[in-house]
Copies of this chain bind each other. A is one copy, B any other.
Amino acid sequence: MLQLHNYWRSTSSYRARLLLTVKGLPYDYVPVNIKEHEQHGEAYRRISPNGFVPTLVDGDLVVGQTVNIAEYLDETYPDNPLFPRDPAGKVRVRGFVNSCIGDVQPRTQKRVREYIDERFSRDVLIEWYQFWSAEGLSILENLAVQDRPDGAFLHGGAPGAGDCFLVAQLYNWRRRDVDLSAAPTLLSIESACLDLPAFIAAAPENQPDVGQDDRY
């Protein structure tokens, strides 16, 4: 059985859960309480030497990084593809997910937020978060619009890896009141996703370790 070590509210954990539910793959949910810094404990460091969450375990294989998880799942379990099979489609969706993890999320991720909060102040953190979120929103909207095929989702008539990454990122922005009105394409894709059983099953509020959390 696949195992996902993750935390209900982390953006990258949410992405990884969505990859699994969109693929239709059952998995064991192993909570890692990053609020209590459990990811830096010795046990977890054995599977993730940097204490990063989430980590997927499939038998002997330990898979870190959500794009890596997406590629691994898609190559190993062919049903319900996460990436298009044609080269142009694949390039388009991979470009989108790599922009999510490389351009958009890192600038406001937890580790960076904590650093800015401590080194400067909560006000500077909020300014920082809002600035980079607005830029990130524009980056993803531009990519979503470009060469978009017909269909309600990022790339056609069924959800794939790009939709998983997008929905998790929008959740991150929503809970901290980012103005999303400049991204009508992203919002329309999100609304096509949110009612699907796979997206309901992976939603943060439906996880076993749901609880109180800090805003930043």
Binding site for B on A (CB under 8 A): 49-50, 52, 60-68, 71-72, 75-76, 87-88, 90-91, 94-95, 98-99, 101-103, 105-107, 112, 115, 131, 138-139, 142-143, 145-146
Contacts and interface: CB of A to CB of B under 8 A. Distances in A.
Contact of A68 (B61, B98, B103): B98
A177 B162 CA distance: 38
Given A102-B101, A102-B106, A94 B112 contact: no
Contact of A87 (B65, B76, B87, B131): B76
18 contacts: A49-B143, A50-B99, A50-B103, A50-B142, A52-B99, A60-B88, A63-B91, A65-B94, A65-B102, A66-B98, A67-B94, A68-B95, A71-B71, A72-B87, A101-B101, A102-B102, A102-B106, A103-B106
